[in-house]
Amino acid sequence: MNLPAVTPAKSDTASPMGEIIAVREAVVDVRFAAGHLPEINSALEVAWDGGAPLILEVHSHLDPRTVRAVALMSTSGLARHVMVRATGEAIRVPVGEAVVGRMLDVTGIPRDNGPALPADVPRRAIHSDPPAMQTENASTDIFETGVKVLDLLTPLAHGGKAAMFGGAGVGKTVLTMELIHAMAAKYQGLSIFTGVGERSREGHEMLSDMNGSGVIRHAVLVYGQMNEPPGARWRVPLTALAIAEYFRDEQHKNVLLLMDNIYRFVQAGSELSSLLGRLPSRVGYQSTLATEVGAVEERITSVAGAAVTAIQTVYVPADDFTDPAVTAIATHMDSQIVLSRDLAAQGFYPAVDPLASSSVLLDPLVVGDAHCEIAEQVRESLARLKSLQDVIALLGVEELGSDDRRTVTRARRLQRFLSQPFTVTEKFTGQPGRSVSLADTLAGCRAILDGETDDWAESSLYMVGTLDEARQKEQVARKAAAGAAV
């Protein structure tokens, strides 16, 4: 049997017992003896016959003897008068090398049908304060992903936070796995994937894909699934943060923290707010929205010698970027990556929309004048191509002016050059993955903008790494065409 997430107390004196007096879905009221009221955010363990221990977390004090707690597991079958033990401490989850390659739930119990964790595995509380400001490392170093379109147009900060906006079927999971691979290969770091409100199917697919690609050896998976109570979805980001902070602070490792989907964390908080009887705020969200988001985001930071780089997917309700939850999350982000369904339908992977995506790091003072100039010209070319799409569809490219024809020619080649095969998809496509350095990306885009590839076939630039690889592909195609002509 797997170890319970909460370490048992040593004596009854340290573990006062209480009695459940009310159960409302995920909210449970517990009464203790006078003078034994557990602290806010401390864990309670229900002594019932429901199988695995039911963990509650103290949310508020109702009176000198009663606390209101949030259940992190299903309360189905839970009744009044059941006894509850106060652990006297916050929920503590396993951390360290023992959890690498494993899938855990919100309380740190393995859910991958693997062996139990060792008895001496270190544990860490899910609640902690952000590092003191004077210890934070406000570095503007670029986190090179090896993904051309990201490194060129939406550079990520090493130790920063990025938001990835995208729906199902646009390559979000594949891009996430490639970033995990990049962290392991380039930075010798660890990746922690957090499934917040994920479907059970998606969790199984992610675990299977990671096992198949070998990425799991450098990753930890933490899940609070959609079918679990809102308390699990509300606290699972904190579980992942506790693991990430251990590797950052104790082992001084760089950590890539991926959260899918951080919006469901907000939704879980909204559900609990209603169950707790709070008055709603704007658009029905909880009044504590900004505080809850800030409590998660402010812990994602770097200290001297190690960094936590976060990439979080965000669902945008009704495509409304002014939604309070979206704006609350976006205020903490350095980069915004928008995945396009249209690009995915055309076969351009990664399907990153170069016009909608942005980064505060795309600044001459951070990335240099040359990078900014090339990125701006690439965006201008792609924007012009988009504006001329209707004209091209109706009249054809031949009806455009010479300047527009030249711009469209180069923009289409840029669009194809910014696609690339991924290492994690190699076993499906049979095409070796490519990780491209920023210097090679800039050199390739510069050459295309200068017209060096105007007479190349567009297919020569599709799904390649560097421009040299595209050049070799073009030469092979020309030789084949010449041989066929003879």
pLDDT tens column, 358-413: 999 999 999 999 999 999 999 999 999 999 988 888 888 888 888 999 999 999 99
How many H helices and E strands in the chain?
15, 18
Q: What is the pLDDT of residue 57?
A: 96
CA nearest 314: which of 306, 305, 324, 300? 324
pLDDT at 485: 67
Q: In this structure, what token pair is assigned to residue 7?
A: 């370490």
- Parallel, antiparallel, or unpaired for β 308-314 and 161-165? parallel
Residues whose CB is less than 8 angstroms from the CB of residue 103 and which lie 6 or more positions away in sequence, other chains included: 110, 111, 112, 203, 207, 221, 222, 223
d(CA 76, CA 55): 13
Could you give the maximum distance between any two Cα atoms of the chain, in Å? 97
Return the SS3 of 41: coil
Distance CA 455, CA 457 (A): 7
* Nearest of 177, 175, 244 to residue 209 by alpha carbon: 177
- The residue among 480, 468, 476 whose CA lies nearest residue 434 is 468
- What ranges make up the beta strands (E) of 138-179? 142-143, 156-157, 161-165
> 4 is written with which tokens?
């319970």
Among residues 51, 39, 46, the alpha carbon closest in space to that of 17 is found at 46
Cα dihedral sign, 324-330-336-337: negative
Q: How far apart are CA 322 and CA 116, in angstroms?
A: 45
Catalytic positions, written as ranges: 172, 198-199
> What's the CA gap between 398 and 236, in Å, rounded?
56
The reported pLDDT for the residue numbered 297 is 92
CA dist 421 and 430 (Å) reads 10
Strand (E) or helix (H) holding 266: helix 262-275
Q: Residue ranges of the chain with pLDDT lower than 70?
A: 1-14, 50-51, 138-139, 167-168, 184, 188, 213, 485-486
Check residue 138 and give its pLDDT.
65
Angstrom distances, CA of residue 141 to CA of 35, 159, 185, 354, 443: 52, 8, 18, 22, 20
Output the six-digit token pair for 451. Answer: 């017209």
Q: What is the structure's pLDDT at 199?
A: 76
5, 147, 359, 420, 461 from 444: Cα distances, Å: 51, 13, 21, 13, 10
CA-closest candidate to residue 188, choices 246, 244, 99, 253: 253
Tell the residue number behind the tokens 């495509």, with chain if given: 319
